[in-house]
Amino acid sequence: GARIDALTTLRIKHINLDECFIEQCGAEMRTKNSKTFRTHFFPVSDIYLNELKRWYRHLREIEVFGFEDPVFPKKCYWTRGVEFDKGGLTREFYSTGSMLSKTISDTFQHAVGRRYGPHAYRKTLATWATERAETRFEAKIVSLNLGHSRLVTTDECYVHPSEAQRREGIRNLGRKKVE
């Protein structure tokens, strides 16, 4: 759920695949308001973690990137096949979020036939997580994981219940969930 500007400056050393988190360091990354915080991976599906691990191994073992090198290097292209395309990888960071955003959108276009930008992915993750938060405490945890210090920010940006969800929610107010 990291923002695109943070991703442009994300270094290999900021990722902990064993504990499943990214250390967003405001002194080294372009985080919003230079904030430092830890973003834990949302448990959406193992496929995402496996692909991140695969990419990490590719950077470390095939490209021989060091811990200070970018996770999303400039001129980074993926192929539709099993292996990553080595052509074009540099050790340079993207200078702006819009350049990396275009690369990500192009990759989605190539892989699934539709363009999705990084904010669409962040919004999908935030929506997925907020829909599963059953208590105010869990909602706050989701909010903090997105880098929001106030729950209201997450609510205003990512919580948009449909009419059917509102109706069902009102009907179930005060009812305890039976396990």
Q: What would the pLDDT profile of 139-168 be if each residue is shown by its tens digit? A: 999 999 998 988 888 888 888 888 998 898
Query: How is residue 91 written in tokens?
Result: 């050790």
Q: Is the pLDDT of residue 10 over 90?
A: yes
- Going by C-alpha positions, the residue among 87, 70, 69 that lies closest to residue 78 is 87
Q: What is the mean pLDDT of the chain?
A: 86
Mean pLDDT over 62-81 rounds to: 80
Handedness of CA 64, 86, 21, 6 (dihedral sign): positive
Residue 58 CB partners (closer than 8 Å, separation 6+): 84
**pTM metric for this prediction:** 0.77
- Going by C-alpha positions, the residue among 79, 122, 86 that lies closest to residue 101 is 122
Identify the residue with better confidence: 47 or 84. 47
Instruction: Express each pLDDT in 125-135 by its tens digit.
Output: 888 999 899 89
Q: How confident is the model at residue 83 (pLDDT cuts 50, 70, 90)?
A: low
pLDDT score of 124: 87
pLDDT score of 157: 83
Handedness of CA 154, 28, 8, 18 (dihedral sign): negative
Identify the residue with better confidence: 41 or 153. 41
